[in-house]
A and B are shown apart, each in its own frame.
Chain A
């Protein structure tokens, strides 16, 4: 399976990472090498083998459906990044996070 720079740009968009043409070109070379390494897997016969996601094969533990968290919004919002586009203010207002408008 060979990739093109158009593929790289499509994957990067899915991953929400901006890439320019030069970066896409360089990434293509590296990713092709890594995917070549990964390709070794296809030679293995895995008929009848069940996939393993966790070493202990445990079932997911569930906790009781009760409130365990306390309100720490003010503390957490201290880590808010600056708004950007000319504003160095933290991207919070009235306990909410500020992002660009998505609805007109």
Chain B
């Protein structure tokens, strides 16, 4: 049962083959068995979780149910949830109890989804390996010595180890797609503004976006139907008509089993296939492209000439926004306050020095520096100008193609500790994902195969980048691939 898709479980719940309480209990039992080693969850509250499952069962019995009613979902610990400890992976918020629900949490609650617990993450979502979490690193279920990616590493490991049906993540520079790639699951970062940021602890506000992490594109479409929508409490939330993300997937059957993607123009950016890409990963991606050709897609060459600049631009803009967002953590109203201090200034400086980890402090310092008097034009303004050039690259490319395919990450999961002391090497993990955030475009990663390393099978993710608001088509393209391959159904050995 724990290996079934969200869609299958939804049908089983609707047909009363299983109750939400039974399903939820099955996952809680697995979590109790495996979480001490995998460390995918920071906070669990069985009573709260089971109370939600009971409520879902009454909804299922009274015809007020929808696709996600009764489905156990893991929530990234970046979303404030009422009565739940909400830490954002930081000592700063170790004792913070959510006084209200984030927009995303409200939406899941409203349809009767069950919150299984809060998942581990890089501290304040700053990291690509989950090693910056104050609550300890997360194991990659495919090889316990390797990282799950980050920052949504706990959510990715939870889906991969079947410790939830699906999970939420957030993506500022690749934090949904890179862990999805490294853990062998499907993850989608929607167009900026589609999912409410209300109650989602802010890292870089102009880039942060929440999205689903699940076993398949079909499951992600169901989650997108719940997660997206206008929220007046988020000043950058987009007020658009509600969309059904399963619609394009549903049309696939009629498009002919032989060449379901006939007419789809797939762009390959030449900058994504240069020496930075690991040869073993490249091979897997090339095979995936061949599969798309077989499915009827037309392959065209495109160019994103400013790709390499996305990393320097990001490491100006994201820390600048972070240094401003994280100034709220001052030890006065909530969060860590130093036990000993002399005066107010000393209280601020000590509380922040003790409450934040090394990577968060580094980014606050970079942000403070690039925004400081005399440097604003040279760094922040310059970065915003190049950001426009990067967005224009995509606009040009989308004149020639409908979706863009490429690798999600340059390598498979690396070993814990391997890059922990080298921030620049860690930042390069996000070379293929960051530009998508800068442009505000939707991007997703789906499993495309494996590389054998140290006697273990390590997953490789294929990235699909779409034009603004083109998630339904991206999910259709991903689903067609998942109909003709079975990579997405594989589970790590020894986990079931």
Contact = CB atoms under 8 A, between A and B. Distances in A.
Interface of A: 8, 11-19, 27, 30-31, 33-42, 44, 46, 49-56, 58, 60-61, 63, 72, 75-85, 91, 97, 99-100, 102
Contact of B439 (A30, A41, A55): A55
Main secondary structure on chain B at its contact with chain A? helix
Interface of B: 95-97, 99-100, 191-193, 206, 232, 235-236, 238, 306, 308-309, 311-313, 315-316, 323, 327, 330-353, 356, 361-362, 364-366, 368-370, 372, 378-379, 381-389, 391, 423-424, 427, 439-441, 468
B312 A100 contact: no
B98 to A, nearest CB: 9
13 contacts: A11-B365, A14-B372, A41-B313, A41-B382, A46-B382, A50-B388, A54-B192, A55-B206, A58-B236, A78-B99, A79-B95, A81-B351, A84-B339
Given A8-B365, A27-B362, A17 B353 contact: yes
Contacts of B335: 79, 81
Given A38-B316, A44-B386, A46-B386, A56 B340 contact: no
A52 B334 contact: no
B391 A55 contact: yes
A75 B99 CA distance: 7
A1 to B, nearest CB: 8
Given A38-B312, A56-B192, A81 B99 contact: no
Given A41-B383, A100-B343, A30 B423 contact: yes
A18 B235 contact: no
A80 to B, nearest CB: 6
B192 A55 contact: yes
Contacts of B378: 42
Contacts of A30: 362, 423
A55 B440 contact: yes
Nearest to A19: B353
A58 B95 CA distance: 37
B384 A51 contact: yes
Contacts of B344: 99-100, 102
A14 B368 CA distance: 7
Contact of B334 (A12, A27, A51, A80): A80
The 6 closest A-B pairs by CB, nearest first: A55-B440, A51-B384, A81-B337, A52-B388, A46-B385, A79-B334
Contacts of B315: 34, 37-38
Contacts of A50: 385, 388
A100 to B, nearest CB: 5
Contacts of A76: 99, 333-334
Contacts of B323: 15
B389 A44 contact: yes
B230 to A, nearest CB: 10
